[in-house]
Amino acid sequence: MTRTFTGWHMAAITVSFFAIIIAVNITLAIFAKSSWSGLVVENGYVASQSFNHDLEIARQQQALGWLFRFDVKRNAADIQILDRAGQPVRGLSVRMLLQRPTNDTEDKAFNLQERSPGRYIVDAVFGTGAWSADVTAEGKDKRPLRVVRRIFVN
């Protein structure tokens, strides 16, 4: 007894093929909708208005010659701040915002404490992987110094 390939077989194969494609597309659309939107700023035009001012602040920061050394592990973040001569910079108020580069569901903000001259530390549990560390250090003159670095936690 031989089986023949009929139009019904072809119709079943065609419908199955497109059903799988539609199911995959719906699944990907659901994942895309529930993940990060990609929005960085609410209004790009408004954010662009401070560009020249931000650039001037960055030039002033660079002229200071301060060096930031990051050491972030799973249970603590340690940031060492040194001046141009390699001496520790003391008495700063240091804040750090940790953000995932791909979403905003795990953003964390911390105030770091100076545990030794020029070393600012916070004890916290960080997830492994890539983070963007946005660090703001402010001294007695109230001029904030800002550094943004990509870090990896093992």
Q: Which SS3 state, helix, strand or coil, does residue 125 take?
A: coil
Same domain? For 80 and 101 the reply is yes
Model confidence band, residue 44 (pLDDT cutoffs 50, 70, 90): confident
The two three-digit tokens of residue 51, written as one number = 């560009």
Q: How distant, in Å, are the alpha carbons of 47, 112, 127, 134 from that of 68?
A: 26, 14, 22, 12
The pTM (predicted TM-score) of the whole model is 0.68
Same domain? For 57 and 133 the reply is yes
**Does any domain span residue 39?**
no
What percent of the chain has a predicted confidence (pLDDT) above 70?
98
Cβ burial of 72 (10 Å; 0-12, 13-18, 19+) is buried
User: How does DSSP classify residue 88?
Assistant: B
SS (H, E, C) 6-29: CHHHHHHHHHHHHHHHHHHHHHHH
- Residue 54, pLDDT > 90, answer no
CATH for 87: 2.60.40.3760
Same domain? For 29 and 53 the reply is no
